[in-house]
Amino acid sequence: MKVAIVTGASGGIGSQIAQELCEKNYAVIGCYRNGADVCEAMADDINKFGVFEPYCLNLRSENEAVRLAEYAVQTYGRIDLLVNCAGIGEIAPLTECNRWEEIINVNLNGTIRMCRAVLPYMLRMGSGNIVNISSVWGECGSACEAAYSASKGGVNAFTKALAKEVGIMGVRVNAVAPGFIDTEMNASLTNRDVEDIRDDIPLRRTGTPKDVADAVLFVLSNTYVTGQIITVDGGWTI
């Protein structure tokens, strides 16, 4: 059985990815900072047919990332996959954005911390996959989300650079960049806001967490794909 670590597993996208990986016979360590109840409920359901273990993780701490990787190997014997899905944001003009340092620390630095923690084990095996969940704003930027856009742009550049670094040692690194996805992160938008966005999307619908999870599974299935940013936005940013 392959072993995956999924951060942000209590969120809409992360929980969907974790569930679909379990259905593909992965043992999944689902990491959360908040939302323990979500992960515990997932464990109750998934453990009837697979393996899902909730794990509380503070991505702001490199020591905690290292301890998680050590725990995964001690408990399951290996780490085959890391999905960096944890992320936070704030919609505000840059001069009024109070969480910009925290956004960079979680979204970008947290991704780097987790990669640093798991890579020694993947490199030792000579195989592994890392999938970073980015955003279309990492490519084109969004007004009033400058820090979030910068963090995801950093994730994209990091993904490409790391793929070049570790590909020769059998580890693939890719990113999936969702557009507008129906999750709690977008719950503050009005129905009119959502309708306006939907009208701008060529496929005339907003995305679902399953759309993103399916892209992750595609990246895992194609062993000749690395260093890529896979956009999943219904054509929104064409």
Closest CA to 59 of 82, 41, 77: 82
Cα separation, 181 vs 190, in Å, equals 14
148 is catalytic: yes
Cα separation, 221 vs 234, in Å, equals 21
Cα separation, 134 vs 237, in Å, equals 14
Query: Of residues 32, 55, 76, 148, which has the active-site annotation?
Result: 148
Q: What is the DSSP string of 168-183?
A: GGTEEEEEEEE-SB-S
Helices 110-125 + 62-76 axis angle, to 10: 30
Closest CA to 80 of 209, 163, 170: 170
Residue type, 224: Y
Three-state DSSP state, 197: helix
Q: What is the DSSP letter of 77?
A: S
Closest CA to 134 of 113, 149, 112, 119: 149
Closest CA to 217 of 20, 78, 9: 20
Catalytic residues: 148
